[in-house]
Structure 1
Amino acid sequence: MTKLENDIVTTRDRLAQTIDELSVRAAPKNVIARKKEQAKVSFTQATRTESGELRMDRVAIAAAAVVGLVVLKIVSANRKQKKWERQRAKRSW
């Protein structure tokens, strides 16, 4: 084989290996796993100090936000129920 042919074979092998690596990286299962890991790291950084202790101020803010969303959902559901009952009352003769 000539040097050119050797270069072509080497380049083709590297390209095939690169394509294989990209297909593994782009697989949905692997993308999801990477995103989950990033979310865990972000959550840990947001809720813990560098020494590993909880950041109570941030945890309290997050808990308050969750409680607020739950309250809003309950209020919204109650309002929908009352509206539905009023509409039914208007229709029944």
Structure 2
Amino acid sequence: MSDTRTPAQIEADIISRRDQLAVVLDEIGVRVHPKTIMDDAKAKVAATVDRTAGRAFVAVNRTVSDVKAQFVAEDGSPRLERVIPAALVVAGAVALLTVSSRRKKR
């Protein structure tokens, strides 16, 4: 197969390929630069933290909703049959902690 290009076309192809190669080398230089590597690592860590925080928020929100459903009826009124015993347990725990801390101070 013979090349029918003129010397000017061959020279133009060489210049074009040289320019393409320069662009590729510049891109490689940017990719392997320590600042670029650090920025990429920081972005990955930030994305991981965001994902973890999002999952934690969803889990906490679900737990709060579940607990709320135990103490509030669907119409928004409190479920006294559950609120009163829970309030008594909390009051008892506070009383025990208060008595316990007073005994330790003496």
Q: Normalising TM by the smaller chain, what interval? A: 0.5 to 0.7
State how far apart, in whole Å, the 1-side matches of 2:52 and 2:86 are.
30
Q: May I ask how many residue pairs the two structures share in their alignment?
A: 61
2:30 is aligned with 1:32: no
Shift of 1:57: 1.5
Equivalent runs, 1:4-83 vs 2, <5 Å: 27-82=51-106
Shift of 1:48: 1.8
Contiguous gaps of at least 5 residues in structure 1 = 1-22, 83-93
**Secondary structure at the counterpart of residue 27 of structure 1:** helix
TM-score (norm 2): 0.48
Superposition misfits of 4+ residues, deviation over 6 angstroms: none
% of aligned pairs identical? 25
State how far apart, in whole Å, the 2-side matches of 1:44 and 1:77 are.
31
Q: Deviations over 1:45-76 (max 9, x none)?
A: 10122333210111111111111111011011
State how far apart, in whole Å, the 2-side matches of 1:74 and 1:81 are.
11
What value does the CA root-mean-square deviation take over the aligned residues?
2.5
| Letter matched to residue 90 of structure 2 | V
Q: Which has the higher contact order (CA 8 A, sep 6+)?
A: 1
State how far apart, in whole Å, the 2-side matches of 1:32 and 1:40 are.
12
**Bigger Rg over Cα:** 2
State how far apart, in whole Å, the 1-side matches of 2:75 and 2:87 are.
22
Contiguous gaps of at least 5 residues in structure 2 = 1-46
